[in-house]
A and B are shown apart, each in its own frame.
Chain A
Amino acid sequence: MLVLGIIITTIGTTFLFLGSLGLLRLPDVYNRLQAGTKCTTLGAFLTIIGVGIMQPDWLPKTLVIALFILTTNPISNHALGRASRKSGVSLCDKSVVDKANEFEGYKEKE
């Protein structure tokens, strides 16, 4: 049980590190949101579940925390992405298409 928990927690912390590396290296707010949302959600989920497996008495409460993060982290990052698009942050130079320009309220400000 302990070995399984250590393996899962190692995978989780590795995902946390990769997410923050992507946050540092990627060129754009929206690309950074990709790294900061997906990798960090999976990493935190696996880390917390791994602690719950290492200490089986704590499994219900760690499950509650992990499910809460799994639900709310994409919501808050989605709100941040929408806010940054509406406040007029432009895309990076290599972007090919920007469909949001066609909608009202999302037009690029000069």
Chain B
Amino acid sequence: MSEIIFLAIIGLAISLCLLRMLKGPTAPDRAVAVDTIATITTALLVLLAFIFERYVYLDVALVYAVLTFIGSVAIARFLEKGI
């Protein structure tokens, strides 16, 4: 029962971030929204590992966290001084 509530709250949070990503007036707004979605998705992956009772999904969450960190730093560098 509580898992459904967690998933509903996280889905609502991700949809609010998506709204900001579609609306955002400047490019850094959209980058911030994407970075926030990535962090929320890491928490969602750990939660899904608990719901499906699979230990392997934690590895997916760890690799996802590493890759989104590198992606955010790359986007920031691109916004700052181009490629």
Question: Measuring CB to CB, which residues of chain A are less than 8 angstroms from any residue of chain B?
Answer: 6, 9-10, 12-14, 16-17, 19-21, 23-24, 29, 32-33, 36, 40-41, 43-44, 47-48, 51, 54-55, 57-58, 61-62, 64-65, 68-69, 72-73, 75-77, 79-80, 82-84, 86-87, 89
Contact = CB atoms under 8 A, between A and B. Distances in A.
Contact of A80 (B49, B65, B72): B72
B79 A13 contact: no
Interface in B12-57: 12-14, 16-17, 19-20, 26-29, 31-33, 35-36, 39-40, 42-43, 46-47, 49-50, 55
B13 A47 contact: no
Contact of B35 (A17, A54, A77): A77
Interface residues of B, number: 45
A51 B44 CA distance: 11
